[in-house]
Amino acid sequence: MNNQVEQAVQAFRTLLEEQIARSDAMTRSRTISDFHSAKRIVVGVCLGDGIGPIIMREAQRVIEYMLADDIKSGRIVIKKIEGLTLENREACKKAIPDDVLAEIKSCDVLIKGPTTTPKGGTLESANVALRRELDLYANVRPVSVPKEGIDWTFFRENTEGEYVLGSRGIEIDGKLAVDFKVTTDAGTKRIARAAFEYARKSGKTNVSIVTKANIMKKTDGKFSLLCHEVAKEYPEMFVDDYYIDIMTANLLNENVRSKYQVFILPNLYGDIITDEAAQIQGGVGTAGSANIGDRYAMFEAIHGSALRMVEEGLSEYANPSSILKAAAMLMRHIGYGEKADALETALSVCNDTERRLVVTGDKTGVTCGEFVDYLMEKLN
């Protein structure tokens, strides 16, 4: 056992050195994409696993329809990226095979179907790897329920916290296991700034910082402190602090929940609470997710690859709403705000108000393709 402790201490030294290097790299120069003046924007399309290829077929159809003029002029290039499949990832034993990563990096933005992460084993989640490789530090997840006055935008830190060393914990056989959570100053300030900038640009005035700083004193303590420090640059904002446990309750409390607007959270809490929020909106099949960095951005549904639907022969009945919300966020990100608004309005008419055709996820509802035909009528 002494030997294992010795090895663990060595491993910890390496981890610390690597994380200090990562933090230093973050504070060096930043390349920030400017899509408004770009002559050419390459949009990568990754199908993913399970229901991914079905919902992505429809997302691509909608994007190609809405951006048709600029695709024709060559300003927008749609690039299909093959090979981000579980089979290929397992064969290469890599979360993202090298050639696929190179293709992805040749794009500016990406829209991606859900990818399967096997439980256990050593294959890392393709999502987590992409977020790290492309440095997509802001996971932005909007949730709205207009009739209840809910309009929330979650800014989840997306590259560190509990995830950054997720597969590199330490185990002493038959005794105990330790995982690590890492919070850096640079990583916290950039997510806080992204959230406050968004709040300012979109006329929001209420920002909630959500941690468990009473227990995770070092990491969440730092996170909360630095968010408040950044907040000083935004004096027009009403900023409040909550612990994650009470915030999960507050989201269910109809007397208070509509006052929240923008949330800033460390990675794992952000992961969990955004599923809860999506459920309040109507289910995880209804929410879109943006993963934003300075150079790249990736847009996806917040749900998984739903292999069970594939096994039951129900893939064609998958709900494309979540990936279409992601498509709208992508269009807004690259400067097509009006198109994004139009797509969001059409989705809301089809899903909330008119509901002439409904996707239920099984044969009691319409197929993904039929729903998108209906949606496209509303785009005209």
- Return residues touching ligand IPM (CB under 6 A): 117, 125, 127-128, 271, 302
Least distance in Å: CB of 354 to ligand IPM? 30
Nearer to ligand IPM, 108 or 271 (CB): 271
- Collapsed DSSP state (helix, strand, coil) of residue 154: strand
Alpha carbon 28 to chain centroid, angstroms: 25
What is the pairing mode between strands 262-265 and 150-157?
A: parallel
128's contact among Mg ion, ligand IPM, none, with CB below 5 to 8 A by partner kind, is: ligand IPM
What separation in angstroms does the CA of 363 have from each of 276, 316, 358, 359, 360?
26, 9, 11, 9, 8
Task: With contacts defined by CB under 5 A, name the span among 76-84, 251-259, 266-274, 371-379 that binds Mg ion.
Answer: 266-274
What's the min distance (Å) between Cβ of 80 and ligand IPM? 22
φ/ψ region of 203 (left if φ > 0, alpha if ψ in -120 to 50, else beta) reads: left
Q: Does 271 bind Mg ion (CB under 5 A)?
A: yes
Closest to 322 measured CA to CA, from 355, 340, 343, 300 = 300
Q: Which is nearer to ligand IPM, 274 or 367 (CB)?
A: 274
Please say which residue, 95 or 213, places its beta carbon nearer to ligand IPM.
95
Q: Which residue is nearest to ligand IPM (CB)?
A: 125
Please, what is the minimum distance in Å from the beta carbon of residue 352 to ligand IPM?
A: 24
Site string for Mg ion, 212-251 (x = CB under 5 A): ----------------------------------------
110 binds, among ligand IPM, Mg ion, none (CB under 5 to 8 A by kind): none
Q: Which segments within the chain are labelled E, that is strand?
A: 41-46, 76-81, 109-112, 138-145, 150-157, 170-172, 176-178, 206-211, 238-243, 262-265, 288-292, 297-301
Q: Decide which of ligand IPM, Mg ion, none touches 135; Cβ closer than 5 to 8 Å per partner kind.
A: none
> How many other C-beta atoms can be found within 10 angstroms of the C-beta atom of residue 86?
18
Which residues bind to Mg ion, rule: CB under 5 A? 271
